Amino acid sequence: MVIDVTDQDFEEKVIKSALPVLVDLWAPWCGPCKMVAPIVEKLSNQYDGKFIFCRLDIDENPQTAAKYMVRAIPTLMFFKDGSAIDTVVGAVPERTLQTKIDELLQPGV
């Protein structure tokens, strides 16, 4: 399941998460975002209980997008232990995201 987050609850749902988090920063008018959304949804089911998947509409939540200097969408940000540790920009294949998720699930990363 992909959780919608906002500027108001970003810290609670993402930064304070005990599990690693993937945040899909998107907008309704973005074509490539619509290509990435089903991949994120599929991965959220595959990694249920191990990884948190969120999405943030940058049009409705500009503060978070500005804070993380999002210049293009889709931007997929990976958070672990409260810190942004990796970013992927653009529509990428499912395998690319799987590899990054698997890396973050390794002990000591």
Structure tokens at 25: 């920063």
Q: What is the pLDDT of residue 109?
A: 67
Residue 41 falls inside a structural domain: yes
Q: Name the strand (E) or helix (H) holding 100.
A: helix 94-104
Residue 109 falls inside a structural domain: no
0.85 exceeded by pTM = yes
Task: Tell me the residue range of the domain where 56 lies.
Answer: 2-104
User: Which residues have a catalytic role annotated?
Assistant: 30, 33
- Domains: count for the chain: 1
Along the 109 residues of the chain, how does pLDDT read in single tens digits? 999 999 999 999 999 999 999 999 999 999 999 999 999 999 999 999 999 999 999 999 999 999 999 999 999 999 999 999 999 999 999 999 999 999 999 887 6
- Characterize the bridge pairing of strands 2-4 and 21-26: unpaired
State the CATH number of the domain containing residue 13. 3.40.30.10
Residue 98 falls inside a structural domain: yes
Q: What is the pLDDT of residue 33?
A: 97
CB 69 within 8 A of CB 3: no
Separation CA 9–CA 86 (nearest Å): 21
